[in-house]
Chains A and B, each alone.
Chain A
């Protein structure tokens, strides 16, 4: 396909002598919101970190046809934005200066912030509904507010590929929907997005494509209706799920452990 922004083939990651991810092959397309699901310990975060170029991995990962390993760190940073789980903010910096860190890969060490940087930051603040506390110290915010600031930081880079690890964790229902809508819009604007979540209902509603990961392998890939079937939820997640009809979309709703 010509619109592949990120493609990974046979990715294998070993950490401390243990194989965490094996034979992971996936392609992220322009305009597409892909969601990676899997039980705890399936290797989702490790795969995301490998795709972001943060840990060494066997296999081939390419960005628009260029090998990830051959890119300089700053060049890679301009092409892939990565939102880690857990949102660390070590210093009580203002929200605006945290989001400005997303412009770091574009920064010229000898000049200040450009008009483009400021526009990107303002846009990221606006779409994540965080403009209201741009001047506040990030350490005074609630968990959900911090999660949106972290996402704003990743969006401010305006990289063609966004890898977001649990962007909706710790968000209230409204902001879960806001963030998912936002990721879908960012994808439609011409980016490729891969997000992880434990909310299978949310994944089925918003994903264009779902990857299901289990014990280090991608065991299913496809439209949510196929990838998140009752049988698969039973075999991979060990849950009994019912399918419910949500405005014409059939989404799984886990009802009890198997």
Chain B
């Protein structure tokens, strides 16, 4: 009805993603012109071909897929909990997933590029998201949700500390510590292959719940009276977010706050409709992570700044600004 006609925001974001994708193939220790980058991508010949196809293409695709997954996961959690501050990282989901995935690698339970790693990540994320939805899901007051998130994030942090504590040797501990910071450095098509199927599955699962989020804006009783199976929706969101976040974290480490910022950026353009926001949120997430991953490569430092550090540095101030704006709700009024 009054929604913005057509898909203007989606088209604009798609164009932005395309531009960032090309830029992502150009940027790195050996800078390439757009022509050289695209030429290398198409022909695969020479050093440019190897750099683009073997190193930068998997990295670019991972950034786009992981960004989209986090954007969609954030939008879905927000739709389910009816709360714009819900985001996987606030509840320690990436930390829990990273801890579980690191556990598998640290103790040599499986090679780093086997399906065991994303599966472990997914299990870790399931525990965290499942606990959150169980604790804060039903009445979803802002205060309860945030307190539950704080507790879960602390718990995930403790679990991670325990793994570092028990790591067989200091090199592995260092490796895990870096992993937790989140990065797409030196990722190959193997990483892409083990994570992409789970992320695509998570998109399907989450997109299927979109309509339910729209009805849930009226609260759980009214949504149920409109034919929405609220418990099933809750379960699907837990599964969908865990699949996506678990798999993303298993290959890229803990990257937070994309799920908070991406839906926030596009919400107004779709009239705050929690179903209609899903696709733009996914696209905005992809664009954000592509941009962040380009930014870390542009820095003058000899050592690349970790991607997760950048997203947290951008995401936390946005989160604080949102809390400040919502403080009226936090001061006791039900959300």
Contact = CB atoms under 8 A, between A and B. Distances in A.
Contacts of B222: 82-84, 88, 153
Contact of B217 (A74, A86, A90, A121): A90
Interface stretch (B22-30, B97-105, B106-114, B266-274): B266-274
Interface string B224-251: 1111110000000000000000000000
Contacts of A76: 227
Contact of B219 (A78, A90, A135): A90
Contact of A97 (B82, B225, B271): B271
A210 to B, nearest CB: 24
Contacts of B226: 77, 101-102, 104-105, 157
Given A84-B219, A90-B335, A97-B271, A54 B225 contact: yes
Interface residues of B, number: 25
Contacts of A78: 227
Contacts of A83: 222
A3 B144 CA distance: 47
A41 interface: no
Nearest to A121: B1
A101 B2 contact: no
A121 B271 CA distance: 18
Given A76-B227, A84-B219, A105-B226, A94 B214 contact: no
A100 interface: yes
A137 interface: yes
Interface in A73-99: 73-78, 80-84, 86, 88-94, 96-98
A121 B2 CA distance: 13
Given A94-B1, A104-B211, A104-B214, A49 B273 contact: no
A113 interface: yes
B217 A73 contact: no
Nearest to B270: A93
A92 B272 contact: yes
Contacts, number: 94
A105 B227 CA distance: 6
Given A90-B335, A91-B273, A97-B271, A81 B217 contact: no
B221 A100 contact: no
B3 interface: yes
Contact of A135 (B2, B216, B225, B229): B2
Interface string A35-59: 0000000000000010011100000
B77 interface: no
B218 interface: yes
Contacts of B1: 94, 96-97, 100, 113, 118, 121
Contacts of B296: none
B78 to A, nearest CB: 9
Given A101-B217, A104-B215, A109-B211, A91 B274 contact: yes
User: Which residue among B2, B221, B224, B271 has the maximum number of chain A CB atoms within 10 Å of its CB?
Assistant: B221
B221 A82 contact: yes
A101 B274 CA distance: 12
Contact of B225 (A82, A96, A113): A82
Given A82-B221, A88-B219, A104 B272 contact: no
Nearest to A92: B272
Nearest to B268: A92
A119 to B, nearest CB: 13
Contacts of B335: 90
A217 to B, nearest CB: 23
Contacts of A54: 221, 224-225
Interface in B250-275: 271-274
A54 B225 CA distance: 7
Interface in A136-160: 137, 150, 153, 157
B3 A97 contact: yes
A73 B3 CA distance: 28
A82 B224 CA distance: 9
Contacts of A91: 82, 217, 272-274
A210 B276 CA distance: 43
Contacts of B274: 90-91
B272 to A, nearest CB: 4
A93 B217 contact: yes
Max count, chain A CB within 10 A of own CB: residue among B2, B226, B273: B226
Given A97-B2, A102-B226, 13 more contacts: A53-B225, A72-B227, A73-B227, A73-B229, A77-B225, A84-B221, A90-B82, A90-B216, A90-B219, A91-B274, A104-B214, A104-B228, A113-B1
29 contacts: A54-B225, A72-B227, A73-B229, A77-B225, A77-B227, A78-B227, A80-B225, A82-B221, A82-B222, A84-B218, A84-B219, A88-B82, A88-B218, A89-B218, A90-B83, A90-B218, A90-B274, A91-B217, A91-B274, A93-B217, A96-B1, A96-B2, A97-B273, A101-B214, A104-B226, A105-B227, A109-B211, A121-B1, A150-B218
- 8 smallest CB-CB distances across A and B, nearest first, come from A77-B227, A88-B219, A90-B82, A82-B225, A74-B227, A91-B272, A73-B227, A84-B221
Interface of A: 49, 52-54, 72-78, 80-84, 86, 88-94, 96-98, 100-102, 104-105, 107, 109, 113, 118, 121, 134-135, 137, 150, 153, 157
